[in-house]
């Protein structure tokens, strides 16, 4: 909870150019960062888009409604330009009304808005923390933005360079992201610190037995239940996930896929077209507060994203927190989360083979589950992130060294 105003080091205005809160990884990080800064004593206020829903413990203000823009899933939209312009005007009003001690800008758009806000108000004294969840150019590459306009890659790289140079402090969401930014933007490396994604240990209501809840969702007994949570988009690995489901349909051991995410249209069409209804349960969108109940039903988790743009992975952290073995591709980001003892996959066939190992070897399943649970407790709770954020705000002179 926010500290008493007498003891608070001040208020931070968070600029979040996204439909916060919308039950996806980017927003889980934003909420976690805000709560971590609350634990450090700061008061916090989030300025964000008109869509999404409010969280009880986070003060939020929103732009005026854009009727044609109701999208809450990840990905680009032509309406984001208008939404960001309105977020800029909202941020200017909130700086005047709230007099924050600093701006905490989430994502590259948030940093640009924060810089324009400071310029408009002539507030050179207002520090900006850039909260980076991945490379701008890398993320746009993932969405195929440069396929038709490759000549724009260099200007966007220079824009990213300028944003980082202009920020007063930079926090990165993962060790891989930090290393990537330090390598690609060495002129700003001295301002960069890790403020990693975190997660809370899950709490599950045990009033209904797990086997009964599995039955209610159509998950057969004596099958390995593999869960995927997150956006159902090609940029998030939807195509490899579909290929994996098909490859496991006639595998030696039965596997049932529990798919928790949205938008559902493409995945539903795929499942129907290939007659895979018996192999899959789709829940559609689930509120983040309910996610732990679904993770508790699974034996193993899947992260099919191939991209290595440096972003964090909220789903990976929640998999670890739930004590699930994780099957993922061989990327630097995944290795950073899972550790050297994991067995990363180089192909969808490798993913299928690993599922078969777990289906036939419960001891290996339990061993990997215990390893991941221990790794989470040691390295990925939000208390670790609090300490890292404390270092960043000490460097800005807004927290005492012993905070």
Q: In which domain, by residue range, is 76 found?
A: 11-198+381-395
Task: Assess if residue 184 is contained within a domain.
Answer: yes
Confidence at residue 210, expressed as pLDDT on a 0 to 100 scale: 82
Confidence at residue 311, expressed as pLDDT on a 0 to 100 scale: 57
With CA atoms as reference, report the closest residue to 96 among 163, 136, 45, 169. 45
Judge if 336 and 252 occupy the same domain: yes
Backbone angles phi, psi at 8, to 5 degrees: -70, 140
Judge if 137 and 255 occupy the same domain: no
Confidence at residue 308, expressed as pLDDT on a 0 to 100 scale: 62
121: domain CATH number is 3.40.50.2000
Judge if 188 and 115 occupy the same domain: yes
d(Cα 195, Cα 36) in Å, to the nearest integer?
10
Task: Assess if residue 218 is contained within a domain.
Answer: yes
Judge if 153 and 194 occupy the same domain: yes
Confidence at residue 139, expressed as pLDDT on a 0 to 100 scale: 76
Task: Assess if residue 205 is contained within a domain.
Answer: no
Judge if 15 and 152 occupy the same domain: yes
Judge if 147 and 289 occupy the same domain: no
Task: Assess if residue 203 is contained within a domain.
Answer: no
Beta-bridged to residue 265, according to DSSP, are none
pTM more than 0.85: no
Counting the structural domains of the chain, the total is 2
Task: Assess if residue 366 is contained within a domain.
Answer: yes
Judge if 164 and 293 occupy the same domain: no
Burial class (CB in 10 A: 0-12, 13-18, 19+), 222: exposed
Confidence at residue 145, expressed as pLDDT on a 0 to 100 scale: 79
Judge if 84 and 148 occupy the same domain: yes
Task: Assess if residue 272 is contained within a domain.
Answer: yes
Q: Which helix (H) or strand (E) element contains residue 356? A: helix 348-360
Judge if 130 and 53 occupy the same domain: yes
Judge if 298 and 174 occupy the same domain: no
3-state secondary structure of 34: helix
Q: Could you tell me if 12 and 37 are in contact, meaning their C-beta atoms sit under 8 angstroms apart?
A: yes
Task: Assess if residue 3 is contained within a domain.
Answer: no
Judge if 69 and 142 occupy the same domain: yes
Instruction: List the pLDDT tens digit at each of the 403 positions of the chain.
Output: 444 445 789 999 999 999 999 988 889 999 999 999 999 999 999 999 999 999 999 999 999 999 999 988 777 788 999 999 999 999 999 999 999 999 999 999 999 999 999 999 999 999 999 999 888 887 777 777 788 888 888 998 999 999 999 999 999 998 888 999 999 999 999 999 999 988 887 877 766 788 888 999 999 988 999 999 998 999 889 999 999 999 999 888 899 999 999 999 999 999 999 999 999 999 999 988 889 999 999 999 999 988 765 555 678 888 999 999 999 999 888 888 888 778 789 999 999 999 999 999 999 999 999 999 988 888 888 888 999 999 999 999 999 876 4
Judge if 127 and 221 occupy the same domain: no
Confidence at residue 6, expressed as pLDDT on a 0 to 100 scale: 53
Task: Assess if residue 387 is contained within a domain.
Answer: yes
């Amino acid at each position: 909870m926010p500290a008493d105003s007498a003891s608070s080091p001040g208020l931070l205005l968070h600029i979040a150019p996204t439909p916060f809160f919308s039950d996806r990884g980017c927003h889980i990080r934003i909420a976690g960062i805000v709560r971590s800064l609350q634990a450090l004593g700061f008061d916090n206020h989030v300025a964000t888009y008109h869509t999404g829903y409010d969280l009880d413990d986070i003060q939020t203000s929103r732009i005026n409604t854009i009727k044609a823009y109701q999208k809450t899933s990840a990905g680009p939209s032509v309406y984001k330009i208008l939404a960001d312009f309105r977020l800029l005007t909202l941020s200017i009003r909130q700086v005047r009304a709230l007099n924050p001690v600093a701006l905490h800008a989430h994502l590259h758009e948030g940093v640009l808005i924060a810089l324009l806000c400071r310029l408009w108000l002539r507030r050179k004294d207002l520090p900006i923390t850039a909260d980076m969840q991945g490379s701008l150019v890398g993320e746009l590459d993932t969405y195929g933005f440069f396929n038709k306009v490759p000549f724009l890659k260099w200007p966007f790289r220079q824009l990213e360079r300028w944003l980082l140079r202009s920020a007063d402090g930079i926090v990165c969401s993962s060790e891989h992201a930090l290393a990537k930014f330090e390598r690609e933007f060495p002129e700003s490396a001295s301002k960069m610190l890790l403020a990693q994604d975190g997660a809370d240990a899950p709490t599950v209501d045990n009033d209904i037995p797990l086997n009964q809840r599995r039955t209610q969702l159509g998950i057969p007994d004596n099958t390995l239940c593999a869960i995927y949570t997150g956006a159902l988009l090609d940029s998030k690995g939807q195509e490899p996930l579909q290929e994996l489901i098909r490859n496991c349909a006639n595998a030696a051991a039965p596997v049932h896929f529990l798919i928790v995410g949205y938008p559902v249209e493409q995945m539903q069409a795929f499942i129907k077209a290939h007659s895979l209804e018996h192999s899959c349960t789709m829940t559609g969108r689930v509120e983040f507060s309910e996610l732990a109940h679904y993770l508790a039903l699974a034996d193993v988790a899947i992260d099919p994203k191939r991209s290595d743009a440096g972003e964090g992975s909220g789903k990976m952290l929640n998999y670890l927190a739930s004590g699930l073995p994780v099957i993922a591709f061989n990327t630097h980001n995944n290795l950073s989360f899972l550790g050297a003892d994991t067995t990363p996959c180089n192909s969808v066939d490798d993913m299928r083979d690993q599922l078969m190992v777990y289906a036939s070897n419960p001891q290996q399943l339990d061993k990997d589950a215990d390893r991941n649970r221990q790794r989470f407790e040691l390295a990925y709770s939000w208390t670790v992130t609090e300490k890292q954020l404390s270092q960043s705000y000490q460097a800005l002179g807004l927290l005492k060294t012993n905070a």
